Amino acid sequence: MIKLFTVDEATRLLPVIEGHVASLQAASQDANALKRRIGELSARPPAERGVTQVESHNLVRELEFVAGQAQVAKAELDRLGVQLTDLEHGAVAFPASVGGEMVALTWSRGQDAITHYRRLTGDRAPQPLPGSTRQREA
């Protein structure tokens, strides 16, 4: 069963959600850097590969660790009932109901409040929440 959030419930979770999203973003950046470094090592001439095999092995182990951290953060978002919609921008969606319609409350890292939602069908452009005085893109 899908949990539906009120704006207040989702807002109270923002500090926790922000921490998990930040962890995912950091893990993604770390993983990309490690993959680049592993690629650089594997491109070295065969004469240098003896030394680089140990370093490469260590980098692979570090990459596995970083992937594990990302899995834990993503699993926690899933457990909370929040959907990660854009890792790069740190955007998440909270299932909710607005005016009897199933929607997703939208929020991204750096925003101090949830001010918009998007419909799940039809026009999916962000809409301001009823009664919201701020007109921020979600």
- Domains of the chain, by residue range, sit at 7-80
Asked whether the predicted pLDDT for residue 137 surpasses 90, the reply is: no
Q: Which helix (H) or strand (E) holds 86?
A: strand 83-86
Kindly state the average pLDDT of the residues 107-125: 92
Asked whether the predicted pLDDT for residue 135 surpasses 80, the reply is: no
Among candidate residues 68, 72, 93, 86, the one with its CA nearest the CA of residue 20: 72
Q: Which residue has the tokens 């009932």?
A: 81
pLDDT value of residue 136: 39
Per-residue pLDDT tens over the stretch 79-98: 999 999 999 999 999 999 99
pLDDT value of residue 131: 78
Asked whether the predicted pLDDT for residue 42 surpasses 90, the reply is: no
For the beta carbon of residue 135, count every other beta carbon within 10 angstroms. Answer: 8
pLDDT value of residue 138: 40
- First vs last C-alpha separation in the chain: 25
